[in-house]
């Protein structure tokens, strides 16, 4: 437990990623690691108590290690079991223990600080010797120390996300998309993490689960304690610990205003998004789960522009069979008929890792075995999905889309496998839509540069700006420390979007945008001005984006885009774009916080 629990109203600022306000008790899932535990003075009469605490934690970790060793005995070779013996002798090292006790007694300090200091001194000395064996022992020493510290600091309580018993605001150092996808909406009122960016899949999922969320809070997981009372503002990216009555009242007003505005927008949700000068823009929805279909119907979206099908795979112990996938795809096709559903083939890897695929950790997962690269290396998994999609295509209006295409070889290979699946189904007399449209995500700069050739092979381009931004600007979409550099208004990015649209036009195919950028009111005019004709966004953002389009003249959007393409920095682009929105829809920007 942190030494000093926060007593007064305190504000923390992070990155707003999922709108909404909630308040409740904090539940810490996983804490980040402090460089070193804080040093606290101990009164002389408290020394024995402090040492007894140390003894208890030491004994508990000893018990834990022996217990794990027992559990895995029989499953591991005896050589591997020796690691546990090594950890016990590190834990029991008399020199470390005696020095720690001496420091506490003589310098009247807390035991966490003393133990960490002693261990670090030895670990550093070992690591400095140019010997691999000793370097590994230094790592073992630190590992054992961390376990004891976690116990001393109360950081090691396990939280079972599947069985939460009371509503909470979940606070964690990080949260994987697989964990987020399984959250119980009735129990998790809000989410706050130390790390993360606006377009991390955890952020996107929180949005579709409608759980207010703030990421990039740096070390909120260390500052807070389970049971703290907080207010979470997912519109502005703020956490307020111990909010005063005045703060609660002000937030009540904000929420009421937002609800009124959203209710107003919902009244016209089913009207098409036609600009003032008569151009119809299709606004579809992005989904991750079948359960999102209801939200799609309720928001007035025109079909599903992106179904991230990997979520059907990520939350399981075994791969879904062709039959299971077929059932899911036909359910969504039926539910949306006659509107179209774009099923994106598996996009695993990056921040979406699952044991079900036998994936191993990579140094740079976003530059690694991801999406189409993974599928082409695992044709049996890919073809099972392709067959299931093809079979479902007769039920409704299904289109198929490949993620992360970087050049013609990948799309040619994917299409070759698709043709072989079609042939197999034909030979068995299994029906499917012979004219199913196959498009691709445009999310890697090399693909944009090859768009003319790719456009001859695809029926549509859907620009995945979440990735296109990170790969163009070399800015990790998950990293809160460089979140300010993740810049959707960067003229370089806008040029890539324009190049894609022009290649699409030359090939007589449509170009849409399905990244989070398409939900940002300040950026929508730019996208339309660049010639994008379809947007696919989170359901919750659909009514506002449709409304904004109805306030806009395409001719003005084109002028804006022309200016942006010749601009040298995003600052002037954003200023001009925001001014346009401010003029055509006063107050809109303030009241519809962007998801990016």
Residues with a catalytic annotation lie at: 201, 514
Kindly state the smallest distance separating residue 124's Cβ from ligand PEP, in Å: 41
Contact 460, 437 (CB under 8 A): yes
Q: Rule CB under 6 A: choose which of 443, 476, 487, 556 binds ligand PEP.
A: 443
- Tokens at residue 427, please? 């030979």
Residue 288 interacting with ligand PEP (CB under 6 A): no
The residue among 590, 587, 548 whose CA lies nearest residue 271 is 548
Contacts of 96 (CB under 8 A, 6+ apart): 115, 118, 119, 122
Residue 467 interacting with ligand PEP (CB under 6 A): yes
3-state secondary structure 160-189: CHHHCCCCEEEEECCCCHHHHHCCCCCCEE
Stretch that binds ligand PEP, among 85-93, 221-229, 463-471, 478-486 (CB under 6 A): 463-471
Show the CA angle centred on residue 239, arms to residues 236 and 245, nearest 5°: 100
Stretch that binds ligand PEP, among 40-48, 140-148, 459-467, 504-512 (CB under 6 A): 459-467
Residue 197 interacting with Mg ion (CB under 5 A): no
Whichever of 174 and 467 has its CB closer to ligand PEP, that residue is: 467
Helix (H, G, I), strand (E, B) or coil at 462: strand
Structural element, H or E, at residue 22: strand 21-30
Taking the C-alpha atoms of residue 142 and residue 137, their distance in angstroms, rounded to an integer, is 9
Residue 464 interacting with Mg ion (CB under 5 A): yes
Residues 311-350 that bind ligand PEP (CB under 6 A): 347
- Tokens at residue 220, please? 């909120």
Residue 304 interacting with ligand PEP (CB under 6 A): no
Contact 580, 304 (CB under 8 A): no
- Judged by beta carbon distances under 5 to 8 A according to partner kind, the member of ligand PEP, Mg ion, none in contact with residue 515 is ligand PEP
Whichever of 464 and 491 has its CB closer to ligand PEP, that residue is: 464
DSSP secondary structure string for all residues of 213-225: EEE--SSHHHH--
- Dihedral angle, C-alpha 244, 249, 253, 256, nearest 10 °: 100
Contact 440, 509 (CB under 8 A): no
Kindly state the smallest distance separating residue 410's Cβ from Mg ion, in Å: 14
Residue 308 interacting with ligand PEP (CB under 6 A): yes
Whichever of 57 and 466 has its CB closer to ligand PEP, that residue is: 466
Structural element, H or E, at residue 27: strand 21-30
Whichever of 348 and 567 has its CB closer to ligand PEP, that residue is: 348
Taking the C-alpha atoms of residue 544 and residue 560, their distance in angstroms, rounded to an integer, is 20
Taking the C-alpha atoms of residue 417 and residue 328, their distance in angstroms, rounded to an integer, is 22
Residue 464 interacting with ligand PEP (CB under 6 A): yes
Bin 232: left if φ > 0, else alpha if -120 < ψ < 50, else beta: beta
Residue 351 interacting with ligand PEP (CB under 6 A): no
- Judged by beta carbon distances under 5 to 8 A according to partner kind, the member of ligand PEP, Mg ion, none in contact with residue 308 is ligand PEP
Residue 136, Cα to own-chain centre: how many angstroms?
33
Residue 196 interacting with ligand PEP (CB under 6 A): no
Kindly state the smallest distance separating residue 167's Cβ from Mg ion, in Å: 33
Residue 467 interacting with Mg ion (CB under 5 A): yes
Q: Rule CB under 6 A: choose which of 465, 503, 507, 511 binds ligand PEP.
A: 465
- Judged by beta carbon distances under 5 to 8 A according to partner kind, the member of ligand PEP, Mg ion, none in contact with residue 514 is ligand PEP
Residue number, nearest CB to ligand PEP:
464
Stretch that binds ligand PEP, among 50-58, 161-169, 462-470, 556-564 (CB under 6 A): 462-470
- Tokens at residue 109, please? 């300090």
Residues 240-299 that bind Mg ion (CB under 5 A): none
Residue 515 interacting with ligand PEP (CB under 6 A): yes
Kindly state the smallest distance separating residue 356's Cβ from ligand PEP, in Å: 18
Number of residues that bind Mg ion (CB under 5 A): 3
Residue 514 interacting with ligand PEP (CB under 6 A): yes
Taking the C-alpha atoms of residue 166 and residue 159, their distance in angstroms, rounded to an integer, is 12
Residues 405-444 that bind Mg ion (CB under 5 A): 443
Sheet holding 168-172, edge to edge: 10-13, 238-241, 229-233, 21-30, 168-172, 188-193, 213-215, 15-18
The residue among 37, 13, 20, 7 whose CA lies nearest residue 225 is 7
Kindly state the smallest distance separating residue 379's Cβ from ligand PEP, in Å: 22
Residue 439 interacting with ligand PEP (CB under 6 A): no
Whichever of 515 and 539 has its CB closer to ligand PEP, that residue is: 515
Residue 370 interacting with ligand PEP (CB under 6 A): no
Residue 340, Cα to own-chain centre: how many angstroms?
26
Stretch that binds Mg ion, among 66-74, 110-118, 152-160, 467-475 (CB under 5 A): 467-475
Number of residues that bind ligand PEP (CB under 6 A): 10
Whichever of 29 and 405 has its CB closer to Mg ion, that residue is: 405
Residue 466 interacting with ligand PEP (CB under 6 A): yes
Taking the C-alpha atoms of residue 205 and residue 210, their distance in angstroms, rounded to an integer, is 8
Kindly state the smallest distance separating residue 309's Cβ from ligand PEP, in Å: 10
Taking the C-alpha atoms of residue 18 and residue 215, their distance in angstroms, rounded to an integer, is 9
Residues that bind ligand PEP (CB under 6 A): 306, 308, 347, 443, 464-467, 514-515
Residues that bind Mg ion (CB under 5 A): 443, 464, 467
């Amino acid at each position: 437990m942190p030494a000093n629990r926060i007593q007064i109203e305190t504000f923390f600022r992070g990155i707003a990623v999922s709108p909404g306000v909630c308040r409740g008790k904090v539940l810490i899932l996983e804490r980040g690691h402090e460089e070193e535990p804080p040093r606290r003075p101990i009164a002389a009469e408290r020394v024995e108590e402090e040492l007894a605490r140390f003894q208890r934690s030491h004994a508990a970790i000893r018990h834990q290690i022996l217990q794990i060793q027992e559990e895995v005995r029989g499953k591991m070779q005896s050589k591997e079991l020796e690691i546990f013996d090594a950890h016990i002798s590190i834990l029991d090292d008399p020199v470390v223990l005696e020095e720690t006790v001496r420091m506490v007694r003589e310098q009247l300090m807390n035991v966490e600080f003393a133990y960490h200091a002693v261990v670090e001194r030895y670990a550093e000395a070992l690591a400095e010797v140019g010997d691999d064996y000793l370097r590994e022992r230094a790592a073992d020493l630190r590992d054992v120390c961390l376990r004891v510290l976690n116990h001393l600091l109360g950081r090691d309580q396990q939280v079972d996300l599947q069985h939460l018993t009371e509503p909470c605001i979940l606070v964690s150092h990080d949260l994987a998309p697989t964990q987020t996808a399984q959250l119980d909406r009735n129990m998790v009122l809000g989410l706050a993490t130390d790390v993360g960016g606006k377009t991390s899949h955890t952020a996107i999922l929180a949005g579709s689960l409608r759980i207010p969320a703030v990421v990039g809070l740096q070390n909120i997981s260390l500052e807070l304690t389970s049971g703290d009372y907080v207010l979470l503002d997912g519109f502005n990216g703020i956490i307020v610990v111990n909010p005063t009555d005045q703060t609660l009242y002000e937030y009540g007003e904000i929420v009421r205003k937002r609800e009124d505005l959203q209710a107003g927008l919902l009244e016209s949700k089913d009207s098409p998004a036609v600009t003032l000068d008569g151009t119809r823009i299709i606004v579809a929805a992005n989904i991750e789960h079948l359960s999102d279909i209801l939200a799609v119907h309720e928001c007035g979206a025109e079909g599903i522009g992106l179904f991230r099908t990997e979520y059907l795979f990520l939350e399981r112990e075994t791969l879904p069979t062709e039959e299971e996938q077929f059932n899911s795809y036909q359910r969504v096709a039926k539910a949306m008929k006659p509107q179209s559903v774009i099923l994106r083939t598996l996009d695993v890897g990056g921040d979406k890792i699952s044991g079900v695929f036998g994936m191993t950790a990579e140094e740079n997962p976003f530059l690694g075995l991801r999406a189409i690269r993974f599928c082409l290396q695992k044709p049996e998994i890919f073809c099972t999905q392709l067959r299931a999609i093809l079979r479902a295509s007769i039920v409704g209006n299904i289109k198929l889309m490949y993620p992360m295409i970087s050049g013609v070889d990948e799309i040619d290979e994917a299409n070759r496998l698709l043709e072989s699946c079609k042939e197999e189904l034909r030979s068995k007399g299994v029906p499917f839509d012979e004219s199913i449209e196959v498009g691709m995500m445009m999310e890697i700069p090399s693909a944009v540069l090859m768009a003319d050739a790719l456009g001859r092979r695809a029926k549509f381009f859907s620009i995945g700006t979440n990735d296109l931004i990170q790969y163009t600007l070399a800015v990790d979409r998950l990293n809160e420390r460089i979140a300010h550099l993740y810049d959707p208004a960067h003229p370089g990015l806008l040029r890539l979007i324009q190049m894609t649209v022009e290649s699409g036009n030359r090939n007589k195919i449509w170009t849409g945008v399905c990244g989070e950028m398409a939900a940002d009111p300040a950026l929508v005019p730019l996208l339309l001005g660049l010639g994008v004709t379809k947007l696919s966004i989170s359901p919750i953002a659909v009514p506002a984006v449709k409304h904004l389009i109805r306030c806009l003249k395409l001719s003005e959007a084109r002028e804006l885009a022309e200016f942006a393409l010749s601009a040298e920095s995003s600052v002037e682009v954003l200023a001009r774009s925001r001014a346009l929105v401010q003029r055509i829809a006063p107050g809109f920007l303030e009241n519809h916080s962007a998801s990016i």
